[in-house]
Structure 1
């Protein structure tokens, strides 16, 4: 659903306040309200965030994962701006700390996050598989997970020469992540099956 307003610049988006608690993505200058999501959606993101945090502790990296807290400014054709808010973002702690006193949006001229995750819902299915996959590849995000409880599949997209190679994981298959090699999770565990 798109909010019926004039198109906004990125600067206007950062200042936008409609007096509600609604969180918006900016897509080609249009405000797109983010739905609250189902309990399963929230459960998946919390489970993954904990799993990533455990894997970070094992590999002793100075990284953090954040749920629904970091925007990623995204290039799109035309003159209107886009800024996505992934379900989970993994990034170095110094980069996270650099967002402390400004809008928590990773800009074009900043290093990309290490990994982003989108959990698919009926309303975001096409966007998660197509638009965001293209946008995140252009931003050179090394790894993009599409967690799809509707089709019981997790697609891990790994950046290779500017494009994503995708590997699907189902059921009891162990998920393979180049970013988190110590992650010991199956698709069924993540999807709550």
Structure 2
């Protein structure tokens, strides 16, 4: 697909609309996020990054099955549309997403982006990489709060900690967990998971 969008100034980048993003392909397997109207290629993570995502995903999946919740967990497959700036043209692809099963069914016949007509995810999780550390800690924190996502984890192998952010009146309150401390999650109150379990690779 070719995107033709007028530039307002000589140095301005063309803005990509949400509709364009949903159908965009450059012919490669590269995944893109849409950030304030700009396509941002997602870099390949390290082996540690991928292993950490996999461990978190498996633990959450087991807990959903154990508690028989009508939820779905997916890793790196689902976009989340977020308000940002002057437009509604930001889509993030979290490392792990927990969402309502009914909303997952609604995505079966359309692009895998949780748009504003669906409920916000119950939980999103980002695993830190050195190149995107500030984005996960700062930009995404603001975007996910604006999307009213009730719980956001930042899993940081660089500092061996898990930050659990709980949405309170449109902003996140954060608690950090280290070592053998049990991660306290309102979404998964019976979860028996520690940072040491996640990072003991």
User: Which TM-score band applies after superposition, normalised by the shorter structure?
Assistant: over 0.9
Runs of 4+ in 1 over 2 A off after TM superposition: none
Q: By how many angstroms is 1:109 displaced?
A: 3.1
- In structure 2, the residue matched to 1:33 is 41
- In structure 1, the residue matched to 2:10 is none
- In structure 2, the residue matched to 1:88 is 96
Bigger Rg, structure 1 or 2 = 2
Is 2:175 the counterpart of 1:167? Answer: yes
Is 2:64 the counterpart of 1:56? Answer: yes
Is 2:109 the counterpart of 1:97? Answer: no
Seen in structure 2, the aligned counterparts of structure 1 residues 159 and 79 have a Cα distance that, compared at 3 Å, is: closer
Is 2:119 the counterpart of 1:111? Answer: yes
Inter-partner Cα distance in structure 1 for 2:55 and 2:87 = 38
- In structure 1, the residue matched to 2:152 is 144
Q: By how many angstroms is 1:58 displaced?
A: 2.3
Count residues in correspondence: 190
What are structure 1's unaligned runs of at least 5 residues? none
- In structure 2, the residue matched to 1:121 is 129
1:34-72: CA deviations, max 9, x gaps?
A: 112111111111111111111112222111100001100
Give the counterpart of 1:178 among 173, 179, 186: 186
Inter-partner Cα distance in structure 2 for 1:84 and 1:171 = 29
Inter-partner Cα distance in structure 1 for 2:122 and 2:193 = 19
Inter-partner Cα distance in structure 2 for 1:179 and 1:79 = 30
- In structure 2, the residue matched to 1:23 is 31
Q: Give me the TM-score of the superposition, normalised by structure 1.
A: 0.94
1:77-119: CA deviations, max 9, x gaps?
A: 1236110000000011111111011011111232100000001
Inter-partner Cα distance in structure 2 for 1:181 and 1:55 = 10
Q: Give me the TM-score of the superposition, normalised by structure 2.
A: 0.90
Give the counterpart of 2:85 among 55, 77, 86: 77
